[in-house]
Chains A and B, each alone.
Chain A
Amino acid sequence: MSETLFKIFRGERAKGELCGYSVEVTEGMVVLDAINQIQARHANDLAVRWNCKAGKCGSCSAEVNGKPRLMCMTRMDELPLDKPVIIEPMRRFPHIKDLVTDVSLNYEINQQIRPLKPKPREADGTYRMQQKDIERIQEFHKCIECFLCQNVCHVTRDQQVQEFAGPRFFIRIASLAMHPLDTLNRLKELKDVFGIGYCNITKCCTEVCPEDIAITDNAIIPLKERVAGAFYDPLALLWRSLTSVSK
């Protein structure tokens, strides 16, 4: 058992300061345990959002020593304890209080995505899909909506581009666009509404994903390739104009 100093952002509406708290660190502790200990012993009014403590609800997203992470999945023995551990809220989203931010912007973006529009059912009233048709998008369904990727992506975080949906929503669009039953063509809105061209493949979303979803490689790059084929491939455009075939 050892004593470690935590510095936690305390304040409301983006104005506040780092407050120091001493925590007894024991074997197997995660950062969220330390936060709970601080709440119990030092700061009953510390606002923090958490739920499952198992890396599945996506509630306890924060920035631990400057890195966007789930607090419940960050073990204390991964951190250098000779220096204070700094816990801050996600910087991308409007601050509410202490470690809690307003992530409702994400739900507004989500509502702009057209839902699955499946092809007609087969004669016996069912849909049939083979595993090889569906396995690619199963990875995307692991997303727990922690919004760490939305927080770390520099297009939203630094550049504040409003016409950019963000990695979480490219995953959702990929899960629909690559679905074997979906009948909608989503490429024009990907380019014009959701701004996939703003992504410059720096892969920070993949680096921070607690579910290890290969966001860039398996969702964003394949979508960019589809957009390239539909709008920027000169030979494909010529072929389509000659054959008048459009997807």
Chain B
Amino acid sequence: MQNSFQIENPNPSFLETSRRDFWWIEPFFTAIGLLAFVIYSTWAAFQNEHYQWESYLSPFYAPLLEYDWWPFSPAFLILWAPAGFRLTCYYYRKAYYRSLFLTPSACAVGGRPQNYRGERFLLLFQNLHRYFLYIALVFCVILSYDAYISFTFKDGLGIGVGTVIMTLNAVFLTAFTFGCNSLRHLVGGNVDCYSCVNFGHQRYQAWKFVNIFNMNHMMWAWISLFWVGFTDLYIRLVSMGIITDYRIL
């Protein structure tokens, strides 16, 4: 007999757990991934150069809003929207509540001691996720248009490595946006009886369609996050002359 202790501890100490697996791996690498993206995207937004090459435009600067009255990088005029969309996204909420706020860092692991209020008071702004969704849907169109434009070069139509990267960027961001829980709610999730309302069948089909992307929302969240940063990096390096854009066609 050993290890005498009390159970039903009303205030488990921070990170207290009986778990023996490597529960810290997921929050650790999630924190690294999120912080790396935030640091890189902030740096890239402050650069205010090397965001364009021929028909390629970095997604951090799309749509390109250059005004005389705005003395800062044009990236700051648009980045608040995708940042707000991801900040209020239900998946990212799980990711940063676990990995950055440690409430809790993993299941059955003691959370950070605090006066816990949940998503109330200041965090009520999370409920505005649907408004960021509306803007994100517009961004899907803008980035798809930029991807379309990337097929044009000085000597006519063509396909470069950057074209493929920008097209995939639009696809990944659209897949992430189409799996949004707010979109799922708005297209049909708020209906209790599809056979009782106007356009019920269409709303049911739309809800089922969004479910396809929603089931892998976390995967699309990470793929699109990584790829949007990679797209900016690729265009930046080509623009700086460090690498050459290879023409496929």
> Which residues in A have some Cβ–Cβ distance to B below 8 Å?
7, 9, 14-20, 63, 65-68, 80, 83, 86, 88-89, 91-95, 101, 129-130, 132-133, 152, 154-155, 157-161, 164, 177-180, 182, 195, 197-204, 207-208, 217, 221-222, 224-229, 231-233
Contacts and interface: CB of A to CB of B under 8 A. Distances in A.
Contacts, number: 166
Given A200-B94, A226-B190, 16 more contacts: A17-B2, A17-B3, A65-B21, A67-B19, A67-B108, A89-B7, A91-B8, A91-B12, A195-B118, A198-B120, A201-B119, A221-B181, A224-B127, A228-B129, A229-B190, A232-B127
A20 B18 contact: no
A149 B41 CA distance: 37
Given A195-B118, A229-B190, A200 B93 contact: yes
Contact of B193 (A180, A198, A200): A180
Contacts of A95: 7-8
Nearest to B104: A154
A201 B218 CA distance: 13
B10 interface: yes
Nearest to A231: B127
Contact of A229 (B119, B184, B185): B185
Contacts of B11: 158, 160
20 contacts: A14-B6, A16-B4, A17-B4, A66-B20, A91-B12, A95-B7, A152-B107, A158-B104, A164-B118, A180-B195, A198-B118, A198-B120, A199-B118, A225-B130, A225-B182, A225-B190, A226-B185, A226-B190, A228-B127, A228-B130
A233 B190 CA distance: 14
A203 B107 CA distance: 8
A199 to B, nearest CB: 6
Q: Which 4 A-B pairs give the minimum distances between C-beta atoms?
A: A66-B18, A198-B118, A66-B19, A180-B193
Contacts of B94: 200-203
A217 B130 contact: no
Interface of B: 1-12, 17-21, 90, 93-94, 97-98, 103-104, 107-108, 110-111, 116-120, 123-124, 127-130, 181-182, 184-185, 189-190, 192-196, 201, 204, 214
Nearest to A137: B192
A71 B214 CA distance: 31
Nearest to B129: A228
Contacts of A132: 194-195, 201, 204
A198 B103 CA distance: 12
A203 B27 CA distance: 13
Given A157-B12, A225-B181, A179 B119 contact: no
